[in-house]
Amino acid sequence: MLSTKLSKYNVILASNSPRRQELIKSLDIPFSIKTKDIEERYPKELKHSQITDYLAALKASPFSTELKENDLLITSDTIVWLNNKALGKPKNYNEAFNMLKELSGTTHEVITSICLTSKTFQYIINDITIVTFKELLDEEINYYIKTYKPFDKAGAYGIQEWIGKIGITKIEGSYFNVMGFPVHKLYKELSKL
């Protein structure tokens, strides 16, 4: 369906995330993967979806001079928002443990922004999912970190992994948004092109 609409575009996903690659593939559109290293820093005054909007656009910036006429670049960023602060990817075991301890027994928001960039336009969409965790035992947190090593995941967890299956009691909104890509919104935006 979309592949016909997008036939004039060369779709590029700028992400190393296996989950994002898998999710965009599920939309049945041809795409290639190109990535550039970028330091994910944002101004301290940014809050909530302003952070992910900013970072999704920032990830597109290194490509600006090399995009061709028919290129369509997709970049994305996800954070976990809890108690008025952003939880990004944990740098080490202790950080992962502390993040999961903080999320234990609470409700938080998962925010993902997607930035669509071409030579002639750039716009950003975002989505928010509300996720509730049960009280996690320390041994459950330790087991999960040792077994699944969630150091590439915002908030130190993957909803599709063991911790999501045993720990998440409620979700309001898109499951795939928590995985890092609100595919329903991406599909809608791509359909408008």
Within 92-139, strands assigned E span 107-117, 122-133
Distance CA 191, CA 181 (A): 16
Number of H helices and number of E strands within the chain?
A: 8, 7
Residue with tokens 């990830």: 59
Which entry of 37, 77, 127, 138 is annotated as an active-site residue? Answer: 77
User: Among 56, 109, 117, 47, which residue's Cα sits nearest to residue 80?
Assistant: 109
Question: Is 77 among the residues known to form the active site?
Answer: yes
Residue 77 to residue 53: CA distance in whole angstroms: 8
* Cβ burial, residue 186 (10 Å; 0-12/13-18/19+): buried
The number of C-alpha atoms within 13 Å of 192 and in the hemisphere containing its C-beta is 7
List residues with catalytic annotation. 77
